[in-house]
Amino acid sequence: MNPLDRRQFVRNLGVSATTLPFLVGLPSLGLAKTAPRRQRLVVMFSPNGTIPKNFWPDATGNEFELKEIMKPLAPFRDRMLVLNGVNNKLKGDGDRHMRGMSCLLTGIELFPGNIQGGSDTPAGWAKGISIDQEIKNFFQSREATRTRFGSLEFGVGVSDRADPWTRMSYAGPNQPVAPTDDPYQMYQKLYGQLRDRDSLLSVLDTVRDDLKRVSKKISAEDKRLLEEHAGFVRQMELEFGRSDGKALVSDPPKFEAGVTNQNDNVPRLSRMQIDLMVNSFVNDFARVSTLQYTKSVGQARMNWLDIKDGHHGLSHESDKNEEAVDKLTRINKWFAGELAYLAKRLAETPEPGGNGSLLDNTTIVWTNELGKGNSHTLSNIPFVLIGNGMGFQMGRSLDIKGVAHNRLLMALAHGVGHNIDAFGNKSLSQGGSLELS
């Protein structure tokens, strides 16, 4: 039952609008086994380019070996598609970090604007929708694939700024979608209503007791009002108590309290967000998700890797600076480790109401705004796909030799049955959806 239908259903039952917030929080039950399989897309972003020699496999085809950065992904080698030779070919306003970020999923130029980067002309927001939102809209427009939220945008250490460096998701031209980088806020969004109900149920009994105590002290005439009041409290207790038990396919993850949103907590925040994402898939809250680590030009200081420098600062260092190359390799390897954790969680979680695991029905795309940090190139952008959500032929490393990334974005849409002819810039879409199956 989709959210709109559920609202209608509730109205027909005659439940008043004020109880609605409690009810709409309840997820739909698992789909019947006969339904077509759920397909999901996750886009994971990490910034500042990669170290190509420690990232790209030497060989193409089925026989390839993972280099240092991708070593954490070894358990998923057979479910991986490494795509070298995909270029972000968008020109125009904005420096390469801006275009790298805001054109990454939109495949379209930026508006001219007032935000000045380190070079080039100042720019504004992207001129079009991003592929994750395009696919979300496609899913939400159909009864069979509609979910409570459609998409969930997670962030880790993004910062509070809103500019072309911090946004890769767009609902449309000039409409950036902000990621949520506070897991507690995301938890509240996903499970707040259920948690509220639990808190409430735990006190209603005491509330009635309190009403009884107070009633003893007031006149018989006035007692009637309090008795009436107590009746409503009892009624609420019964109504909310009844919906217990059939709540969630999976309980919300257990969180430690008080993990503040700051640099040194990034590893913990990352795992909390990933746990929330996996849980939201099990409960079918959304089938599209993004996971954005910091931002384009992100300056995470990975003290947990014993690296004291900011990430972006390091990425400008020359290839000859071996210490910097080593640190950047470890930084990118850490991101690969987080990706591996996500893939592992998806792989070990059974698909509710279906066969196999969540990873069997999910495609994760790991990407970056630059090919390489110190050259600021938008060519050979890291694109690594993991999981079997889209019927692509996995277990391969390809070099596509300079294809426009618009065609890869189209392939993601085609992968979920949304057969668009172009995405973003039309001329860069020429050649159509990239053939990956």
Partner 1 sequence: MKVGLNQNGRPDVKINVRLAITKLDQALGLLLAFSVVASAAWAKPALSGEAIYANRCAKCHGDTGQGVADEYDEPLVGDWPVEKLVRVITRTMPEDDPKKCVGDEAQQVARYIFDAFYSPEAQARNNPPRIELARLTNRQYLHSVADLIGGFIGRSEVGQAGGLKASYHNSRNHSRNKQTFERTDATVDFQYGTGTPAPDNKEFKAEEFSMRWSGSVLAEETGEHSFIVSSENGVRLWVNDMNLKLIEGWVSSGELRELTGTVRLIGGRAYPLRLDFFKYKSQGASVKLEWHPPHGARQVVPARNLSPTGTRSVFVLRQPFPPDDSSAGYERGSAVSKRWDEAATLGAIEVANLVADRLAPLAGTAPEDAQHEAKVRAFCNRFVERAFRRPLTPEQQQFFIDSRFADGKPLTNSVKEVVLLALKSPRFLYPDLGQADSHAVAARLALGLWDSLPDDELLRAAEAGRLGTPSQARQQAMRMLRDPRSRAKLRAAFHHWLGLDHAGEIAKDTERFPGYDKPLEADLRTSLNLFLDEVIWQTAGADFRKLLNAAHLPLNERLAGFYGAQRVEPLGEFAPAFFDHDRAGLLTHPYLLSLYSYHNSTSPIHRGVFVTRHVLGRSLKPPPEAVEFSDEAFAANLTMREKVTQLTRADACMTCHGIINPLGFTLEQFDGVGRLRKSEKGRPINTVSDYLTADGDTVRLASAGDLARHAAASPSAQKGFIEMLFNQVAKQPLRAYGSGVLNRLCNEFAASGFNVKFLLAEIAVVNALHGIDTAPPSERN
> What is the spatial distance between Cα 246 and Cα 27, in angstroms, rounded to a whole number?
9
The two most distant CA atoms of the chain are separated, in Å, by 90
Q: Is the CB of residue 168 less than 8 Å from the CB of residue 292?
A: yes
Least Cα distance to 52 among 380, 336, 318, 337 occurs for 380
Instruction: Quote the tokens at residue 15.
Output: 């439940």
> How far apart are CB 197 and partner 1 at their closest, in Å?
9
> What is the spatial distance between Cα 406 and Cα 400, in angstroms, rounded to a whole number?
13
Contact between 218 and partner 1 per CB under 8 A: yes
Contact between 326 and partner 1 per CB under 8 A: no
Q: Please identify, among the stretches 111-119, 147-155, 319-327, 366-374, the one whose residues bind partner 1 according to the rule CB under 8 A.
A: 111-119
Contact between 262 and partner 1 per CB under 8 A: no
Nearer to partner 1, 233 or 249 (CB): 233
Contact between 112 and partner 1 per CB under 8 A: yes
> How far apart are CB 240 and partner 1 at their closest, in Å?
9
Residue from the set 222, 264, 319, 323 that interacts with partner 1 by CB under 8 A: 222
Residue from the set 258, 262, 306, 308 that interacts with partner 1 by CB under 8 A: 258
- β pairing state of 80-87 and 40-45: unpaired
Nearer to partner 1, 233 or 422 (CB): 233
Contact between 26 and partner 1 per CB under 8 A: no
Contact between 200 and partner 1 per CB under 8 A: yes
Site for partner 1 in 135-164 (CB under 8 A): 161-164
Contact between 211 and partner 1 per CB under 8 A: yes
Size of the site for partner 1 (CB under 8 A): 46
Nearer to partner 1, 85 or 192 (CB): 192
Contact between 205 and partner 1 per CB under 8 A: no
Contact between 403 and partner 1 per CB under 8 A: no
Nearer to partner 1, 59 or 218 (CB): 218
Q: Is the CB of residue 36 less than 8 Å from the CB of residue 144?
A: yes
Phi, psi values for residue 180, rounded to 5°? -95, 115
> How far apart are CB 102 and partner 1 at their closest, in Å?
10
Contact between 303 and partner 1 per CB under 8 A: no
> How far apart are CB 221 and partner 1 at their closest, in Å?
8
Nearer to partner 1, 188 or 388 (CB): 188
> What is the spatial distance between Cα 100 and Cα 45, in angstroms, rounded to a whole number?
11
Nearer to partner 1, 181 or 360 (CB): 181
Per-residue burial over 300-310, b if 16 or more Cβ lie within 10 Å, else e, is bbbeeeebebb
Nearer to partner 1, 229 or 330 (CB): 229
Instruction: Quote the tokens at residue 316.
Output: 């400008």
Residue bearing tokens 């954490």: 72
Contact between 233 and partner 1 per CB under 8 A: yes
Q: Name the burial class of residue 31, with classes exposed (0-12), middle (13-18) and buried (19+) by CB atoms within 10 angstroms of its CB.
A: middle
> What is the spatial distance between Cα 378 and Cα 309, in angstroms, rounded to a whole number?
24
> What is the spatial distance between Cα 100 and Cα 90, in angstroms, rounded to a whole number?
9
> How far apart are CB 127 and partner 1 at their closest, in Å?
9
Nearer to partner 1, 22 or 366 (CB): 22
> What is the spatial distance between Cα 154 and Cα 277, in angstroms, rounded to a whole number?
8
> How far apart are CB 313 and partner 1 at their closest, in Å?
20
Nearer to partner 1, 53 or 91 (CB): 91
Q: Please identify, among the stretches 53-61, 225-233, 298-306, 375-383, the one whose residues bind partner 1 according to the rule CB under 8 A.
A: 225-233
Contact between 257 and partner 1 per CB under 8 A: yes
> How far apart are CB 255 and partner 1 at their closest, in Å?
9
Contact between 199 and partner 1 per CB under 8 A: yes
Q: Please identify, among the stretches 69-77, 221-229, 339-347, 387-395, the one whose residues bind partner 1 according to the rule CB under 8 A.
A: 221-229
Contact between 191 and partner 1 per CB under 8 A: no
Q: Return residues touching partner 1 (CB under 8 A).
A: 16, 18-19, 21, 111-116, 122, 124-125, 161-164, 174, 188, 192, 196, 199-200, 202-204, 206-207, 210-211, 214, 217-219, 221-222, 225-226, 228-229, 232-233, 235-236, 257-258
